[in-house]
Amino acid sequence: MKIFQNLRQDLPASIVVLFVAVPLCLGIALASGAPAISGLIAGVIGGIVVGSMSGSHTGVSGPAAGLAVLVLSMIERLGSLEAFFLAVVLAGVIQIALGVARAGVLGYFFPSAVIKGMLAGIGIIIVLKQIPHAFGYDADPEGELQFMQPDGETTFSELARIFSAIEPSAVIVAAVSLAILIFWERMRSTGLAVFRWVQGPLVAVVFGILYQLATREMAPEWALSSSHLVKVPVADSLSGLGEMLRTPDWSQIWRGEVYIAAITIAVVASLETLLCVEATDKLDPHKRVTPTNRELFAQGAGNVASGLIGGLPITQVIVRSSANIQSGARTKLSAILHGVLLLIFVVALPQVLNLVPLAVLASILFVVGYKLAKPSLFRDLYRMGYAQFVPFVVTVLGIVFTDLLTGIGIGMAVAILVILRRNYLNSHFLHIADDGGDNQRPRIRMQLSEEVTFLNKGAIIKELAAVQSGTHVTFDFSRSVALDDDVKEVIDEFRATAEERGISTRVIEPGSQPRDRKTDRRDPPDDAGEVREMADAAQR
């Protein structure tokens, strides 16, 4: 089958994503006030169900860190997990409707600078959040990306606390794992088969597991305690695993608060998904475009399935998607396989996952974060000018000091202000010349752009207010396709009072042959009518 043609690249990538996803699923569940199994369910559904239905080639879906605080407050407000899971099911139905209604087009309205700022901001916050785990200070759960943490600390205050709780074994594991990753990255360019077939993050994970097994047997004092390892819940049997699952409380179906929660989840999850789709497509080395309407439909189906068996809300997530792309994934088979592997390990081999040190995963995410926030990205955006650099930097800072969606909102607001300013300045071209007569009578030609709206009114009013008495003004509409009535009113009012101020005017109507402003330096009269207007003005 065609989907298995890239199995050589997709399978290793799926294994890397598996080990990245497990602690994130567990950590997000913890930060959301939900059982650990709820995060794992969302990870499995995000991989298998959403991965199968999605049109994204490299995106990976699962529980989202950006929804953790929202989920926590909703569970408290609704009073039970079962009522919350009902809201998740209804949110999925709403997302399916949004996909059918083709609402995915909204994803194309995010400026490129903001999307790049989102990637860089996520990269920086990943690195900052993983530093404590690399030193063995694991107070904050994996997957928590907000500046204000659930434990009352902030991203930066957490860094200050690690020096009082350094775990030497964790530091060793993190340092060796990072060295493996860097070495593997450099050796891939040599073309040796082993470095192309086996991914560096997988080697690092194997090292971490072997380290834990070896130290347990030979040097227990150097072994990591369970608090520094992945913690997947272990069921005694399949029936025991089934008892962990929760189902929606359908008796709450007519409760208004449930629908408010469902609409909120649907809107926020859809927005985060569309943002991540844009970002993931930018990271895709093949620059493939994800069909956003299909993505909303797939996310909706995933949330329906997740809510039915007690899982958290699902979105496409940038951390796992980035790890997937950087591990060499070619198709969506990688996302599907990561879901299948997650299911197998949670059901049959949870003990293996519970041997993975968090310090190894910190090293893997260090590399992911660095690649998202490379210094060259900041340099390139700076060279592109303030219109790109300012929204980019504001988005980065907003994400680092608040959270993902708030940072995006701040970046969007700044981007809109930049667009408005540019629109304000680019409404027209003003050409000033003289008529070549004895009085060197000034002449102005105002060339209006193709589309002029009320947003341009201020700039035009400012220019017209500076016109001196005795000037001849030509309003050139020859290139204008859409001219707002507000702007027409401003020009009409100017022309109505121009004569009493000793100003003559002329209008070149839309559709007339425009003049080349580069060659028409003296802007000579177009016809006899304009000559007569100039003569009349001179007599006045």
pLDDT tens track for 458-509: 778 888 888 888 888 888 888 777 777 888 888 899 999 888 888 889 888 8
- Spatial contact of 139 and 151, defined as CB atoms under 8 Å apart: yes
- What are the beta bridge partners of residue 228? none
pLDDT, tens digit (0-9, with 9 covering 90-100), for 142-151: 877 888 887 7
Mean pLDDT computed over 175-179: 96
Looking at residue 511, its pLDDT comes to: 67
For 262, the token pair is 């469902």
Looking at residue 463, its pLDDT comes to: 82
Confidence of residue 512 (pLDDT cuts 50, 70, 90): low
Confidence of residue 164 (pLDDT cuts 50, 70, 90): confident
Q: How far apart are CA 340 and CA 43, in angstroms?
A: 10
Query: How would you classify the pairing of strands 314-317 and 442-448?
Result: unpaired
CB-neighbour burial class of residue 128 (10 A; exposed 0-12, middle 13-18, buried 19+): middle
Q: Is the pLDDT of residue 532 over 50?
A: no
Looking at residue 433, its pLDDT comes to: 57
pLDDT, tens digit (0-9, with 9 covering 90-100), for 339-380: 999 999 988 888 999 999 999 999 999 999 999 999 999 999
Residue in the structure block whose two tokens are 């993050």: 201
Element (H, E) at 102: none
- Spatial contact of 443 and 435, defined as CB atoms under 8 Å apart: yes
Any idea what the Cα angle at residue 146 is, between residues 140 and 151, rounded to 5°? 35
Looking at residue 440, its pLDDT comes to: 59
Neighbours of 267 (CB within 10 A): 14
For 165, the token pair is 């709780």
Please count the CA atoms within 13 angstroms of the CA of 390 that sit on its side-chain side: 12
Looking at residue 139, its pLDDT comes to: 83
Confidence of residue 189 (pLDDT cuts 50, 70, 90): confident
Element (H, E) at 483: strand 482-483
SS (H, E, C) 228-251: HECCCCCCCCHHHHHHHCCCCCHH
What is the strand order of the sheet 504-508 is part of?
428-434, 442-448, 472-476, 504-508
For 429, the token pair is 């071209």
Looking at residue 432, its pLDDT comes to: 56
Q: How far apart are CA 368 and CA 124, in angstroms?
A: 10
Where residue 102 falls (left for φ over 0; alpha for ψ -120 to 50; beta otherwise) is left
